[in-house]
Amino acid sequence: MAKVIIRTTRKVMPALLPPGAIDDIAKVCGCGRKTVYNALRKGMKGPVSNRVKAYCLEKYGTEVENNNE
């Protein structure tokens, strides 16, 4: 039987955000800079924090390839 290799990609959070990214995220999500900081660095949970994390992952996340055999 042939071996099948499935390659999938997923996005991961960046280690460092580019300059001005916190202001951009705060403006788009409708919250303050401190809320963005707490959501990304302190791991706060809630509807606004989840929105901040999702936007950050979508805009600034990098794609990583997963190899599942």
Q: Per-residue pLDDT tens for 2-24?
A: 787 777 888 888 889 999 999 99
pLDDT band, residue 68 (cuts 50/70/90)? low
**How many CA atoms lie within 13 Å of 7's alpha carbon, on the beta-carbon side?**
3
- Number of structural domains (the chain) is 1
**Per-residue pLDDT, 48:** 94
User: Which structural domain, as residue segments, surrounds residue 55?
Assistant: 15-63
Q: Is residue 4 part of a domain?
A: no
Using DSSP, how many helices (H) and how many strands (E) does the chain show?
A: 3, 2
pLDDT, average across residues 16-33: 94
